Amino acid sequence: MPSVARRPVPRAREPASATPAQPAVGFVSLGCPKALVDSERILTRLRAEGYRIAPRYEDADLVVVNTCGFIDAAVTESLEAIGEALAENGKVIVTGCLGARQALVKQAHPRVLAVTGPRATAEVMREVHRHLPRPHDPFTSLVPPQGVKLTPRHYAYLKIAEGCNHRCTFCIIPSLRGELVSRPVGDVLEEAAALVAAGVKELLVISQDTSAYGVDVRYRTGFWGGRPVRTRMTELARALGGLGAWVRLHYVYPYPHVDEVVAYMSEGGLLPYLDVPFQHASPRILRLMKRPARGEDNLARIRRWRAARPDITLRSTFIAGFPGETEAEFEELLAFLEAAELDRVGCFAYSPVAGAAANALPGAIPDAVKEERRRRLMQLQEEISARRLRRRVGTMIPVLVDSVSTAGAVARGHADAPGIDGVVHVAPSPRLKAGEFATVRVTGSDVHDLRAEAV
């Protein structure tokens, strides 16, 4: 068996340093040039991790078969190739287009170790690791599987996309980072699972526009754990929620499909928390800002979310003193805050960014007025926040403990994202351990934080 068989595909060459002691993978590549590129990616990863590519079945510790499922003849050929690899070697991982028809493959060849679909490098590598542990490498073995993290061990940011398709007039991110590029859903879920396996208890999902995840790839179906998963925020949120960690969604725009995500918040670890950067409430200012979802009735949407999940925490940010903002429009924003009763709010006085389109808008607001509006907004929000936190006094809540000292613990509940929201100050107790979950009874509150005791 060549490292790639049945099709005249170039063999992956062994470097001079390869030793027979290294675990060896055989590779059969079938199908079109797109499948060929998938094969190249997998082979590259295998080599980068120190696996040998075996030229014959008998030299391989397991065999990966990249299949084609385009027409009946290709299906037959792929099924035969799997059968041959099983007969000659016995340990076979199937990937590629026919892998998308998992039931068919499993019915024909129940002994295969795993079946993944096309473009599933991460999936294939995970299955290879499971059945043929990766060789020791003096460099990569020193790096933990979850990578090097700058956050404490118990929480981590999970970036699901880069760039942005919107053109908000106060922002230059699209010109700096380009259009939206969503990461493959299998890669995101694999990274998340590795983080959880490494002890992460809270995943903070971030991107420029989390609701838009997958738009650029038309919500393409990816694979994870042998199952198809669409590259879409709703499916991703649900899958992440099943990993056993808390999952917190940031930078979500209020599109209709977010309602679906709110419905999942009663399942698994998906926290009843949404960070929705509204930025303003006046329709005219939102139009000038060119904000995403500016045509939506945000108040009605918030009420629907609260009806579905009365305990949902809503966080947002606003800009005061955007060019042309009248006093009446600013008061419209204050009225929105009163009606929406958002839990967590940040507010910035508008500040021009070099290169932003908003700089050319007429009606620049004097700095003193911008600052005065920002102060008024935050003052109102403090009253709202204090009111909402008071309602939680007397309740029992799960918290994740960030740190412990002789003075007690600093912890966070579902309403508290690290670094930007409030915290829960818990009285000293031997039951509290940094990086672990605990249950506490809320005994008091102030403007941003709660006080509690361990139970």
Binding site for ligand SF4 (CB under 6 A): 164, 166-168, 171, 173-174, 208-209, 292
For ligand SF4, the closer CB: 166 or 227: 166
Q: How far is the CB of 352 from ligand SF4 (least distance, A)?
A: 14
In the complex, what is the shortest distance from the CB of residue 167 to ligand SF4, in angstroms, rounded to a whole number?
Answer: 6
| Helical ranges in 50-120 per DSSP H | 72-88, 102-108
Q: Which is nearer to ligand SF4, 29 or 211 (CB)?
A: 211
Nearest residue (CB) to ligand SF4, 273 versus 278: 278
- Give least dist CB 313 to ligand SF4, A: 21
| Residue 162 or 260 having the CB closest to ligand SF4 | 162
Tell the residue number behind the tokens 């003096």, with chain if given: 138
Token pair of 223, please?
């694979």
Tokens of 177: 């980072």
Q: CA torsion sign, 265 to 266 to 268 to 273?
A: positive
Strands 344-349 and 313-320: parallel
Closest separation in Å from C-beta 37 to ligand SF4: 31
Cβ at position 342, least distance to ligand SF4 in Å: 18
Nearer to ligand SF4, 23 or 292 (CB): 292
Shortest gap between Cβ of 177 and ligand SF4 (angstroms)? 8
Task: Using alpha carbons, select from 256, 170, 253, 177 the residue that is nearest to residue 211.
Answer: 253
Minimum distance from residue 104 beta carbon to ligand SF4 (Å): 42
* Closest to ligand SF4 by CB, 276 or 333: 276
Closest CA to 400 of 439, 437, 450: 437
Q: Compute the least distance from the CB of residue 214 to ligand SF4, in Å.
A: 16
CA dihedral angle for residue 182, residue 183, residue 186, residue 189, rounded to 10 degrees: -100
Complex with ligand SF4: residue 114 or 212, whichever CB lies closer:
212
- The SS3 assignment for 424 reads strand
275 CB neighbour count, 10 Å cutoff: 23
CB contact set of 199 (below 8 Å; sequence gap of 6+): 153, 154, 435
Whole-number Å distance between alpha carbons of 96 and 83 = 16
Asked whether the beta carbons of 279 and 309 are under 8 A apart, the reply is: no
Alpha-carbon gap, residue 109 to 84, rounded angstroms: 11
d(CA 237, CA 205): 9
Which residue type, as a one-letter code, is found at position 81? A
Nearer of residues 257 and 391 to ligand SF4, judged by Cβ:
257
Of 276 and 389, nearer to ligand SF4 (C-beta) is 276
Supply the minimum distance, in Å, between the C-beta of residue 353 and ligand SF4: 10
Q: CA torsion angle for 385, 389, 390, 394 (degrees, to 10)?
A: 180
